[in-house]
Amino acid sequence: MQTKTRDFRFDALRTIGLFAIIFAHVNPPAGLFQLRNFDVPLMVLLMGSVYTLSSARNLSYLKYLYHRVFRLYVPTAIFLIFFFLIKLMIANFSGTTFPYSRSVILSSFELTTGIGYVWIIRVFILIALIMPLLLNLYQKIGSKKFLWTLFFIYITYEIISRVYPGSGLSDYALVDQIFKNIIFYLLPFGCVAGLGLAIKDLDRKVLIKLATFFGLIFITSALYYLNTTGHFIPTQSAKYPPHIYYLSYALFISILLYLSSLTKTFAKIFDNRFVVFIGTASLWIYLWQILFLSLWRVAKTNFDPHYSYLIEFILVSVLSLAIVWIQRRLVGFITNNGKSDTKMNKIIARIFLN
């Protein structure tokens, strides 16, 4: 059983979200791809929930911001350096062309386009920027008014995002980048994180009502698109940037998962050290799966396409878990037994043990 200092439910839900993301990256069939399309909003929801339990909320805003940005961006930047070096060595060894241009490398470190996958780190950093503000607002006005505030913020976002393309602002490159890469992710995902702040204080009846609300929005939207186009439109089509069709499905499933986490059966399945390990190492597991996905797609041959996604998912997941376990053991040994000063040990631990 886990220690009393952590709530296993959030580690368990983070584990579900992480594996759902990895599963999406192996390109499963359309039905399964849609089923797991709640993963990123679930992870953002958990950011809000976990923040209320974190000691970081007691820091000054600048210290908190430094702590969060360092914890998210520095490991990602170090991983990207290693990723591109590995790909460069493979290209040189095999006599092939290095597959990434300078612009792809730069945009990867900017967390925009690049190699893909790292955009989620940008979302996490953006959410980290506003978490203290959201918590302060929540504590001042209470859960009911707070939820209504989130609702109106989200409605405002939907209006702005639809008016923006014809507003002429997109003609200015810098403004366009701010809207497309910051505002249109900060506002909707900020509302999701805000819901995460409040979710622990909401009783089951309210949570069931919220799940029903989001479920009805999703079903209504899906039926509308079905009637309009003649076929089901995946919620993925409304993900970049996120809109209500995508978020309604994701929040419907996420709230149901949260409700399930309150049951004894959930505790029997997920309250264990393995889940805590994944919950505490999710960032590095996510980063390493990017490399293993890339390497596997170069190496794989002669697999039945109907089953290769399962092989890829298992292989990438196992390798990512294994290398993170080794990484944490090695770094733990170095920081506990190394001769470097204590400050350096703390920095190494913050980078590689999260």
Q: DSSP assignment, residue 281?
A: S
pLDDT (0 to 100) of residue 316 = 96
Contact 81, 287 (CB under 8 A): no
User: How much is the pLDDT for 239?
Assistant: 97
Q: Please, are residues 218 and 177 in contact by the beta-carbon 8 Å criterion?
A: no
Closest CA to 123 of 51, 175, 182, 65: 182
In the chain, the percentage of residues whose pLDDT exceeds 90 is 82
Q: Specify the pLDDT at position 300.
A: 74
**pLDDT score at 5:** 53
What does the pLDDT read at residue 4? 45
**Tokens 């913050």 -> residue:** 350
Domain ranges of the chain: 1-9+17-36+270-354, 38-212
Mean pLDDT of 108-116: 95
Residue type, 226: L
Q: What are phi and psi of 255, to 5 degrees?
A: -70, -40
Structure tokens at 320: 């990512």
CA distance 126 to 119: 11
- The answer to whether 108 touches 114, Cβ cutoff 8 Å, is yes
- What's the pLDDT at 3? 42
How far is the C-alpha of 244 from the C-alpha of 251, rounded, in Å? 10
User: In this predicted structure, what is the pLDDT of residue 211?
Assistant: 98
**Over 50: is that where the pLDDT of 216 sits?**
yes
Q: CA-CA distance, 68 to 257, in Å (whole number)?
A: 26
Note the residue count of the chain. 354
- As given in the structure block, the two tokens for residue 249 are 């499905």
pLDDT of 55 strictly over 70:
no
Summarize pLDDT for 115-151 with one digit per residue, the tens.
999 999 999 999 999 999 999 999 999 999 999 999 9
Is 123 within 8 Å of 40 (Cβ atoms)?
yes
**352, 284 in Cβ contact below 8 A?**
yes
pLDDT in tens, 17-41: 999 999 999 999 999 999 999 999 9
At residue 53, the 3 state secondary structure works out as coil
User: Dihedral, CA atoms, 24, 30, 36, 38, nearest 10 degrees?
Assistant: 100
Arithmetic mean of pLDDT over the chain: 93
Give the pLDDT score at 2. 41
The backbone region for 2, taken as left when phi is positive above 0, alpha when psi lies in -120 to 50, beta otherwise, is beta
Round to whole Å and give the CA distance between 282 and 276: 10
Structure confidence at residue 340 as a pLDDT band (50, 70, 90): low
Residue with tokens 């049951």: 263
SS3 (DSSP) at 289: helix
Report the predicted TM-score, pTM, of the whole model to 2 decimal places.
Answer: 0.94
In the numeric block, which tokens belong to residue 127?
A: 């959410």
Confidence at residue 343, expressed as pLDDT on a 0 to 100 scale? 83
Contact present, 195 and 251 (Cβ < 8 Å):
yes
Amino acid at 56: A
Q: Are 328 and 281 in contact (CB under 8 A)?
A: yes
DSSP 298-341: HH--S--TTTHHHHHHHHHHHHHHHHHHHHHHHHHHHHHH-SS-
Helices (H), the chain: 8-25, 30-35, 39-51, 61-94, 102-109, 119-163, 173-178, 184-199, 204-229, 244-260, 264-270, 273-280, 282-299, 308-337, 342-352
56 or 267, which is more confident: 267
Q: Print the SS3 string covering 112-139.
A: CCCCCCCHHHHHHHHHHHHHHHHHHHHH
